[in-house]
Structure 1
Amino acid sequence: MSGISFMGVGSGLPVNDIIKATLEAEAAPLKRLEHDKKFYESQISGMAQLKSRLSSMGDAMKDLQGLDKFQQLAANSSNDKLFTATADHVAGATAGNYNIEVLAEARSYRHVSGELSTTDPFSGTLTFFEKDGTTPLKDSNDDPITIDTNGKTLDEIRAAINSHEGLQGKVSANLVNTSETHARLVLNADESGEAGRFTANFSDATITKDTDLSSGEFQGLAPVAESDPGYDAYKEDLANNLDARIKIDGIEATSSTNRFENVISGVTIDVTAGASGQSESVGGLEVKRDDTAIKDNIEAFVKAYNDVIIHLNEAKKGSLYGDSTIRSIEGEMRNILYSPTEGEDADDTQKNFLALIGIEVFVDKSYDPKNPSSRNGTLEVDSAALTKALDENFDKVAHILGSSKKLDDTQPSGYAERFSDLATRLVSGGVQDGQSYKGLVQIRTEGLGKEVDRINDKVDSTNLRLELLEARLVKQFSAIDGIVAKFNSTGSFISQQMAGLPGYTK
């Protein structure tokens, strides 16, 4: 109660203490309810953490689905100053060794004018053509690209070129000042290689006279001996060719950029900037199975599984001890773990257990029932056994772990796919036989939430009942206090009257 209370003054009874003691006795169930609420909330927190672990496992396992995740190749260059390379098994790369000779790097075409006035206006039209010199470059409306130079200064011509929508991504212009009144107009192809080559025709006689447009000075390596017929023509063509050029085991290939894709099936070769200036022009390329990347994927598989198992073991030591949901999840994890990936036949299937490729279950031999190890039931990788499995039966390792019915319905579901599906089923449910269903963790979390709501409702109703009880007690004791006060007052009055009677003595 709030305010100043004078209850008990009339009766002399400790009314406030009586009411307080009564309310405390009636409020005793609230402590049990609060205890139960904290317990359920700790279970909800445990379920949330379990959901997070299962979701992480599902995501990790999803990234490991597909045979390609366990069939990775590495492409190694013996000379990174010449080239680097990558290999993709899915794109068709296979193991092999190659000699790569870098003949030339890709360059961008450059059109350079003679010295032109930077102050005098020009006249005429600047027209752009493809590298054949006759086919006009066209804009998005299929119109030939031209620049009207009438009345424009050289800098205004440069700005008009750079702002022309049809030339965006094709040609850019700059000025190189050679004096206070003269400059050279430099047109650069934005796309490298022969694919970016163009020609520009100035109809202005002055510009035409002063402009000797060329691709600049280029250097290249002739692939034939000087004594061979056609050497001079080939050398000239080589010097002016803008494409990157390499030889793969003597077979020449070209690219408009310094990247050569799929020249070797599934392999990408990148010519290093400055490779043409190296004293050595030949390097070795080795494409081989990338055991390091494959083992990293297997470690990711093991870690994703272990994170869930360790959390389950820890949860059993706390508020989720004995929880049926935990036992159900453990059972489903074990069922998958001890079910081999389907093989070609029954005999082959029995060869598809994780233990047969070096992934074993850790068993705590010094088991303490009061404090069991959180690592019990986790997976461990026997590196020697795994290396042997990769060396002797690599396809079997990929099949056991990465085969995916979802990606290829001719394959069974490997361990990664089955654990991913389990995580999804436990966390968010799905659809089965046309009916949607909730995940086990979701159902349990919702059930615990309802228990908390029930307790909150009971606490609210108990507090309301206590408020009403307090009001009733106050009213009742106030009435009693008033009656007793009246009795005391009447008794005092009678005593005073009797005291005035003759012969009265106490």
Structure 2
Amino acid sequence: MSTITALGVGSGLDLSGLLDQLRDAERGKLAPLETQKAQQQAKISAYGQLQSALTKFQDSVTKLNDASLFQSLSTNVRGDAFTATAGKTAQPGSFNVEVGQLARAGTLATQRVAAADTALTGGTETTLALTFAGLDENDQPRQVEVTLAANSTLEEIRDAINADKAAGVTASIVNDGSGYRLALNSTETGAEASIAGTNFETLVAGNLAADPGTVITQAGQDAELKVNGIDITSATNQVEGAIQGVTLNLEKTTEPDQPITLRVEQDTLKVREAVGGFVKAFNEFKGTIGKLTAFNAETGQAGDLNGDGAVRSIESRLRGALSGGAGESELRMLSEVGISLQRDGTLKLDDAKLGELVTGNMAGLGEFFAGADSKGGLAGSLNTTLGQLLDGNGIVKRSISGAESRVKSIGERYERMEVSIERTIDRYRVQFGQLDSMIAQMKQTSAYLTQQFDMLAELGSPRKK
């Protein structure tokens, strides 16, 4: 009997096609698992969107939970002679500021030499002494010494000064048309930091230009200003302490007897932005929930978290925290600070009402959101609730972990079922092979019998004469 190498060869039946149909039918059992897995993966993504919206809302709540927000001050300068910033210790007030003189750094240009790349100093290491206008601890002119290598050129002297971070000056070379000068510029502004002299002429004695000229100095100076008529000097143009908690950055002088008004006042803009950001973030959170839980009656399409218990729990807890108000504070409910809850669950901000509070009762507004003393405000209560919802053991993380576990479980079931299906198909393949062989054998037997019957028929028939 011949060996069958492919299904259907012996029988003439399309057994391979039938086996493929059986495989497709068996694999159809995997479809529900694939659907379940896709649903759980979609839920994980949806929970991620929910978590992101909650985190953004928590960020806005955290800003309102900072009492310093409602105590922050801003500065208003009516002019361009200076700018000002207010720190934590600043106090509200109005100040008249006159800038009579800006601080500047001192400069010094040495006498001329003929060339910048010719050795000027002697054959041994030497020291360049830089003298400043200020006094040291012994009430002597302050000096800084810079070590120079033997046979230093003007360029090498410049480089040695610039390499010494403690020199107190920066150095450059100036060609004034008649020779080369070493130009020194104090690194700090103010009279005391001003470079006043050097021993350059002594170090390069005999190597000056034919027309050496004279040392040229421009003394540094302190800034001079008046605040409400009080004379103030500063070594820098950044003046701190002249007004408590305020830093003035001087940029140019003012006209004589024409002071510029500086106002230090409550920073209402930051508070407005924080409250507006709170309302916006909550409404975006509600919008995210609406999209994730929506249901389209016409198409029958439902959001990935439609009917989800975790979403209902989150909404319920936040609604309770918002409606609970701020306890014993002067302002107790959101409606009293210009925020109302709409029918669709979103918040609406009354800018006019909020404006009245930030200008007329900032303390009450701060107490409502951030609390007074040890008592927590609405933002503190919300922050606690949001922290519980978002932490590692919170409902959001648990929901994500649950969906991930279900995806893993479905994947394991899918793999087991695939193995089972392949075993079933293998069994069908063996049975089809046996069927194919049996039919082939039957065909051979049938052909043999037919042949024998034909021969018998010929033998039994009358002979022709």
TM-score (norm: length of structure 1): 0.78
Which amino acid is the alignment partner of residue 379 of structure 1?
L
Contact 2:146 2:160 in 1 (8 A): no
Which structure 2 residues correspond to residues 53-452 of structure 1 after superposition, within 5 A?
Answer: 53-80=53-80, 82-88=81-87, 91-118=88-115, 119=118, 121-122=120-121, 125-130=127-132, 131-132=134-135, 135=140, 145-148=145-148, 151-167=151-167, 170-180=168-178, 182-202=179-199, 204-205=201-202, 215-216=217-218, 242-272=221-251, 275-276=252-253, 281-317=258-294, 318-343=303-328, 348=329, 351-363=331-343, 376-403=344-371, 410-429=373-392, 438-452=393-407
Measure how far apart 1:48 and its partner are.
1.1
Measure how far apart 1:445 and its partner are.
0.8
Measure how far apart 1:242 and its partner are.
1.2
* 1:459 counterpart residue number: 414
Measure how far apart 1:263 and its partner are.
1.9
Which amino acid is the alignment partner of residue 324 of structure 1?
G
Q: 1:177 to 1:20 in 2, by over 3 A?
A: closer
Contact 1:125 1:203 in 2 (8 A): no
CA–CA separation in structure 1 for the residues paired with 2:250 and 2:233: 11
CA–CA separation in structure 2 for the residues paired with 1:360 and 1:486: 88
* 1:236 counterpart residue number: none
CA–CA separation in structure 2 for the residues paired with 1:173 and 1:385: 61
Contact 2:37 2:407 in 1 (8 A): yes
Which amino acid is the alignment partner of residue 355 of structure 2?
T
Secondary structure of the residue that 1:386 maps to in structure 2? helix
Secondary structure of the residue that 1:126 maps to in structure 2? strand
1:228-266 CA distance string (max 9 Å, x none): xxxxxxxxxxxx661112101001222222112232122
1:309-348 CA distance string (max 9 Å, x none): 22112211101011111111111211211122243xxxx4
Which structure 2 residues correspond to residues 18-37 of structure 1 after superposition, within 5 A?
Answer: 18-37=18-37
Q: 1:42 to 1:120 in 2, by over 3 A?
A: closer
Instruction: Give the % identical residues.
Output: 28
* 2:297 counterpart residue number: none
Contact 1:92 1:266 in 2 (8 A): yes
Which segment drifts farther, 322-331 or 240-249? 240-249
Contact 1:116 1:184 in 2 (8 A): yes
Which amino acid is the alignment partner of residue 289 of structure 2?
L
Secondary structure of the residue that 1:103 maps to in structure 2? strand
CA–CA separation in structure 2 for the residues paired with 1:18 and 1:115: 106
Secondary structure of the residue that 2:236 maps to in structure 1? coil
CA–CA separation in structure 1 for the residues paired with 2:153 and 2:456: 137
Contact 1:103 1:281 in 2 (8 A): no
* 2:300 counterpart residue number: none
CA–CA separation in structure 1 for the residues paired with 2:41 and 2:130: 74
CA–CA separation in structure 2 for the residues paired with 1:291 and 1:321: 41
Contact 2:279 2:347 in 1 (8 A): yes
CA–CA separation in structure 2 for the residues paired with 1:285 and 1:159: 45
Measure how far apart 1:393 and its partner are.
1.9
Contact 2:99 2:254 in 1 (8 A): no
Q: 1:311 to 1:5 in 2, by over 3 A?
A: farther
Contact 1:360 1:380 in 2 (8 A): yes
Q: 1:70 to 1:277 in 2, by over 3 A?
A: closer
CA–CA separation in structure 2 for the residues paired with 1:58 and 1:213: 66
Corresponding pairs, count: 436
Secondary structure of the residue that 1:247 maps to in structure 2? strand
Measure how far apart 1:206 and its partner are.
7.7
1:41-86 CA distance string (max 9 Å, x none): 1111101111222222233333443112133322111111x11212
1:365-395 CA distance string (max 9 Å, x none): xxxxxxxxxxx21211101211222233221
Q: 1:115 to 1:42 in 2, by over 3 A?
A: same
Secondary structure of the residue that 2:307 maps to in structure 1? coil
Secondary structure of the residue that 1:322 maps to in structure 2? coil
* 1:493 counterpart residue number: 448
CA–CA separation in structure 2 for the residues paired with 1:150 and 1:22: 98
Which amino acid is the alignment partner of residue 84 of structure 1?
T
Which amino acid is the alignment partner of residue 126 of structure 1?
L
TM-score (norm: length of structure 2): 0.84
Contact 2:340 2:347 in 1 (8 A): yes
Measure how far apart 1:151 and its partner are.
3.5
**Aligned: 1:479 with 2:437:** no
Contact 2:192 2:220 in 1 (8 A): no
Secondary structure of the residue that 1:411 maps to in structure 2? coil
Q: 1:213 to 1:355 in 2, by over 3 A?
A: farther
Which segment drifts farther, 194-203 or 381-390? 194-203
CA–CA separation in structure 1 for the residues paired with 2:16 and 2:203: 113
Measure how far apart 1:36 and its partner are.
1.2
Q: 1:465 to 1:195 in 2, by over 3 A?
A: farther
- For structure 2, the 5+ residue unaligned runs are 295-302
CA–CA separation in structure 2 for the residues paired with 1:52 and 1:484: 67
CA–CA separation in structure 1 for the residues paired with 2:444 and 2:100: 124
CA–CA separation in structure 2 for the residues paired with 1:39 and 1:391: 52
CA–CA separation in structure 2 for the residues paired with 1:473 and 1:447: 39
CA–CA separation in structure 1 for the residues paired with 2:5 and 2:44: 44
Q: 1:285 to 1:418 in 2, by over 3 A?
A: same
Measure how far apart 1:205 and its partner are.
4.0
Measure how far apart 1:159 and its partner are.
2.3
Secondary structure of the residue that 1:254 maps to in structure 2? strand
CA–CA separation in structure 2 for the residues paired with 1:213 and 1:418: 71
1:395-422 CA distance string (max 9 Å, x none): 1111222348xxxxx4333333443443
Measure how far apart 1:212 and its partner are.
6.0
CA–CA separation in structure 2 for the residues paired with 1:263 and 1:165: 30
